[in-house]
Amino acid sequence: MLSQVHYLIRSKADGRYLTARPHEETTGYLLLFRENFDALSYLNTHAADVANRFTIESIPGTQLSSLLQRWGFIGVAIVTDPLIPSVEFLQHN
């Protein structure tokens, strides 16, 4: 995971990242996509009317841990299928 590039969805309005909150946690899990087009497919499928309010960012795996700590995320939610969506949750220690 450290050698990969991940893609995130970020709000243009307030700079917050798109998260998953399966149990109503306050900070939740940072949504990660393996490819840029997966993030775009997710937005176009599930938020087409507001997709222009978001941007796709890339982050190297080496910076992922510091991003999670800085924003206080519990872990990551890797989207394996953006159309369904299918998500794998990984908690950060």
Which residue carries 């998953």 as its tokens? 20
Distance CA(19)–CA(79), nearest Å, equals 11
Contacts (Cβ under 8 Å, ≥6 apart) of 70: none
Residue 2's pLDDT is what?
59
Distance CA(5)–CA(88), nearest Å, equals 17
Record the pTM: 0.86
Q: Nearest CA to 42 among 88, 91, 9? A: 9
Q: Is the pLDDT of residue 34 over 90?
A: yes
